[in-house]
Amino acid sequence: MTLHCTGLQEIIVHKQEIGRLLQNLDIRKVMGPDGVSGQALMKWKDQLLAPIWEMVISSLKDGRVPLEWNRANIIPIFNGGKSNEPLNYRLVRTGEQRWMGGHCVPGHEKSF
């Protein structure tokens, strides 16, 4: 399934930006919904660079992104106080290294 987004066609993403993001992945972060570890992405970054870039460019050109790109694992972290009060928790998104679009196109994060 895909999510239609307007204005994506004007966004330009350079292959070097994707390469920089792959190079700077924090391999200590947990896997995202895709089940691919940061270590695997780091190890195979040279082989993955072109396919990832082409996938991003194709999605931007078509104005559609896979729904999975916007999916994350959310866990509640207790901040203190009464544990039965929802406002005493903050939500933390895990596996956020998977979708790098916000890093590639600063200012366009809301498009996704």
Pick the residue with more confidence: 18 or 104? 18
Pick the residue with more confidence: 40 or 73? 40
Give the C-alpha distances (Å, rounded to integers) separating 33 from 3, 59, 90, 103, 110: 17, 19, 21, 19, 20
Q: 22-37 pLDDT, tens per residue?
A: 888 888 877 766 778 8
Percent of the chain with pLDDT over 70: 70
Q: Identify which of 106, 33, 40, 39 has the alpha carbon closest to the alpha carbon of residue 73.
A: 33
Q: Where are the domains of the chain?
A: 2-72
